[in-house]
Structure 1
C-alpha cells in the first residue's frame, strides 16, 4: 500500500500592483495636549487602533517665557523711541536670546516610548514674518525644539507650514526665510525625519491662536473686514513646497488637505 505523497501547490508571485500598494499608519494628533504622553496613554491609543501619537515638543510654560521676552523687548524699543535715543542703528538693542529649556519647558524626556511619538513643533511661530524680530525669535524657537527633540531621540517631527506664501517685503521673501529656517533645522537634527504640514491647495483657514507671535510684528495688520475672495491658485502650495524642498532632498513631504 502506497501512501500519497504531499505536493506543493504552485504559489503565484504577487502582482506588481500589490507590491506597490502604500502602507498607511494611523496617528492621533491633539493640538492642545495638556499632559505628557506616558507609556500607559500610548498603550491605550494602540489598543484603540492608533499606531502613534503626536506630542508638542515644548510646553505652555516655554510659550509664556517667549512671549514675555518679546513683550519686554518691544517695551524697551518703545521707551527708546519716546526718549529720542533711537537715532542710529548702533543704539538699537540686539534681538533677545531665548534661554535654554528647563524641565518646566517641555513634556518630553528621553524614553523608550519616544520612537512611537511624533514631535509637533510650535504652531504659534512665524518663520515668514517680515519683522526681523519675529522671524528671529521664530527661528530660535524652531532650532531649540529640533535640538531638544534630537537629544531625546525623537525620530519624526512635524513642522507647521508657511503662514503666508508672500509675507516678506517682496513676494518671495517669506518663503525664502522659511526655506532657510528649514535648512538650518536639518543641520541641527540631521537624524530626524521632518515633515511639513501644508494644505493640498490654497491657504488654511486663519484660526485665532492664543499667544500667536504674528500680531507682535510691527507691520502687522489686523484682518478686520474680510477681503473679496480671489481665485485659488491650485499650484501655489506646490510651488511653495517645491521651493522649500529643492535644496533638501532628505526632507520628507507630508501634505494634508
Structure 2
C-alpha cells in the first residue's frame, strides 16, 4: 500500500528531540510516509486547546489520514490510549478528551484501545508513550493495518464538558480555547449560538474590555481596533486589527468570555 499522511499535534514545543523522535519511529516503520506538522505549540498539558486544533483540521484532510495527537498530562498512568475512526480518518491519542471536538461534529465510526505490546517498541518509556506506543500505532494504521490488532474495540471515550460554551438565558459564557500566531483569541462560542439575533446586536466582554457588535472581517475596522468576529472555523474570536489581542488583553486559553445582547 502506498504510504499516506500522518499529522502530528503536540504540546512538545518547536525545539528539542521529542517530535523528531516520533517522526523517526514512523519513518522507520513506514518509509515514504508524508508527515504533516499541525501544531507543536499547544500550551503544556492543555487538552482543551489540543481538542480545538484537531476539530479545526479534520475537514481539511483526505480519508485514511492518520492524526497522531499527544497532549498527555496523564502519561504513564492507567489512562488509556485509543485509535478512533471518524470522518474516514484515524486519530491515535490519549483517552483524555482530545477527541472531543471531532466527536462533537462527526460520527465516531469505531474505537479501539491501543494495548498490544507486540505493536509497541520493545522498550516502552513510562514518560514517552507518544514515541513508543502511539507512533507505532499510527504507522500501523497508515499502512492499512487491522485496528483490531491494536487492542480491544470499545465504545467508551472521554469528552471535555467545557469544550462548548454554556448559556444562561440570552447570555453565553465561554472561554478562550486557542491563541493563534497573530494573537487572535479563538473562543468556544460557536456561530450558531448567536443565530437568534443580528451580529451587530451582540456585546462581547473579555479581559475587562467590551466590544459592541460582531463583524465579518478584520479589515472592516481601523488598524489597532479591538474587534470580535466569526473566524474561518465558525468560532467567535477576538482580535486586534494589525495587532495582538492576547498581548493587549493579557489573555489566552482559559480566559472567560461573555456574549450578551447589546443594551
TM-score, normalization: structure 1?
Answer: 0.26
Report which of the two has the higher share of strand: 2
Q: Which has the larger radius of gyration?
A: 1
